[in-house]
């Protein structure tokens, strides 16, 4: 199917005034037809054939959307579009230079008539996270070890991202922090775009400046390459943030991305992950380090047991949980040959740190 099919369809869409039979109504494509269209769409991208790409869409699909998609796809590496047994498509893609391949489920409406099958719609599959290039017009900017992608304020994040990733690359945390050579940070341009990228309501992230997660909404099947960790900026909570705040936020989140190879911490060990991210963040700002220490002093006498996992999500406890964890990690890193012991704490449920004293001087 190509230009000819598209031309015929355009012809058919005109009112059939003098034709005795009514125009043929398109019917939903079969699984095999959907798979053919997915494959053909992929070919048009690989062959860089914009005309053929546009011709895979039905005439009533918004041409601006099709043009946006074409422009966006030129910026990323789309490696596969596959029809799945549940009737969704799974797209495999990455930002150029990124290690790993993101996989997203998307909804594809494919219709056929006697002249062939065309895409009548592409978009979010239920509440599944949607790839940002399907959501809005994107740009990509590279800085140090970060690639910023999205329709948001890339320029405003470029310097903080460059400084944060360069700092992390130089930080002495042994083998725990393994930053990618190209870490992707997604910067959605609106609340609506953020919600689609997250597949969730923005209300769920009202306290979060950014989220670090693994870019895979496509189920558990094996893929060619592991899905990469990505940082997603929350536009609502960061639009007024100054450069210092953005830098602190990114050091914290990029630490999460660079430690995602360890997997989620074992039960009760979230303090190791959050403490490491917070500890490194505090290394970049004396003011933030002093404020964190003051939180500890305000809570004297201090427990020598780590905060519970739930404390980090509890607004009445999270401030102390972060401050305690950062101070504990700071002590552990200073005390010993660290990499392996932090790794052990990370993966061992309920394991307590052996601290040589309280995490702050309560006098
Ligand atoms: Zn965190």
180: number of Cβ within 10 Å? 21
291 found inside a domain? yes
Cα 21 to ligand 1 centre (Å): 64
**Which is nearest to 103 in space by CA: 80, 75, 83?**
80
**What's the domain range around 106?**
28-132
Domain final residue pick, 132, 166, 186 = 132
228 found inside a domain? no
Cα 227 to ligand 1 centre (Å): 20
250 found inside a domain? no
151 found inside a domain? no
**Strand 116-124 relative to strand 102-113, pairing:** antiparallel
Using one digit for the tens of pLDDT, what is the confidence trace for 244-289?
A: 999 999 999 999 999 999 999 999 999 999 999 999 999 999 999 9
246 found inside a domain? no
Domains: count for the chain: 2
Q: How deeply is 45 buried, as exposed, middle or buried, from its count of CB atoms within 10 A (0-12, 13-18, 19+)?
A: buried
pLDDT class of 217 with cuts at 50, 70, 90: confident
Using one digit for the tens of pLDDT, what is the confidence trace for 283-332?
A: 999 999 999 999 999 999 998 899 999 999 999 999 999 999 999 999 99
67 found inside a domain? yes
Query: Which residues are near ligand 1, the ion (C-beta closer than 5 Å)?
Result: 274, 277
pLDDT at 282 (0 to 100): 97
Q: Which two tokens stand for residue 199?
A: 């597949």
End-to-end CA distance of the chain: 78
Torsion angle of the four alpha carbons 292, 256, 280, 184, in this order, in degrees rounded to the nearest 10: -120
241 found inside a domain? no
Cα 178 to ligand 1 centre (Å): 16
112 found inside a domain? yes
- Look up the pTM and report it: 0.89
Using one digit for the tens of pLDDT, what is the confidence trace for 28-66?
A: 999 999 999 999 999 999 999 999 999 999 999 999 999
Domain final residue pick, 89, 109, 132 = 132
Cα 278 to ligand 1 centre (Å): 7
CATH number at residue 44: 3.10.450
Cα 327 to ligand 1 centre (Å): 15
Domain final residue pick, 115, 132, 149 = 132
Q: How many CA atoms lie within 13 A of 192 on its CB side?
A: 4
């Amino acid at each position: 199917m190509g230009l000819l099919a598209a031309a015929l369809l355009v012809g058919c869409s005109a009112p059939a005034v003098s034709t005795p039979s009514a125009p043929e109504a398109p019917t939903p494509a079969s699984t095999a037809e959907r798979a053919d269209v997915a494959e053909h769409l992929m070919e048009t991208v690989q062959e860089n054939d914009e005309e053929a790409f546009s011709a895979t869409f039905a005439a009533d699909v918004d041409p601006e959307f099709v043009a946006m998609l074409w422009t966006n796809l030129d910026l990323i590496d789309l490696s596969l579009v596959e029809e799945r047994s549940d009737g969704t498509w799974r797209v495999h893609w990455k930002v150029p230079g990124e290690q790993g391949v993101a996989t997203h489920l998307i909804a594809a409406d494919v219709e056929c008539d006697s002249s062939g099958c065309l895409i009548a719609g592409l978009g979010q599959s239920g509440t599944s996270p949607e790839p940002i290039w399907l959501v809005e017009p994107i740009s990509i900017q590279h800085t140090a070890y970060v690639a910023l992608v999205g329709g948001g304020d890339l320029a405003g994040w470029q310097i903080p991202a460059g400084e944060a990733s360069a700092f992390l690359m130089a930080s002495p945390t042994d083998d725990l922090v393994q930053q990618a050579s190209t870490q992707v940070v997604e910067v959605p341009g609106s609340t609506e775009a953020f919600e689609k990228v997250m597949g969730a309501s923005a209300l769920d992230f009202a306290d979060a400046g950014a989220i670090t997660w693994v870019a895979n909404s496509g189920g558990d099947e094996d893929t060619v390459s592991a899905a990469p960790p990505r940082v997603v900026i929350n536009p609502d909570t960061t639009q007024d943030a100054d450069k210092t705040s953005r830098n602190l936020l990114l050091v914290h989140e990029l630490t999460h991305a660079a430690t995602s190879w360890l997997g989620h911490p074992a039960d009760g060990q979230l303090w190791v992950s959050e403490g490491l991210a917070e500890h490194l963040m505090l290394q970049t700002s004396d003011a933030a380090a002093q404020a964190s220490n003051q939180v500890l002093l305000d809570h004297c006498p201090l427990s020598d047991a780590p905060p519970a996992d739930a404390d980090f999500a509890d607004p009445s406890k999270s401030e102390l949980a972060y401050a305690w964890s950062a101070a504990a990690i700071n002590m552990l890193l200073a005390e010993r040959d660290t990499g392996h012991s932090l790794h052990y704490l990370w993966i061992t449920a309920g394991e307590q740190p052996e601290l040589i004293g309280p995490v702050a001087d309560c006098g």
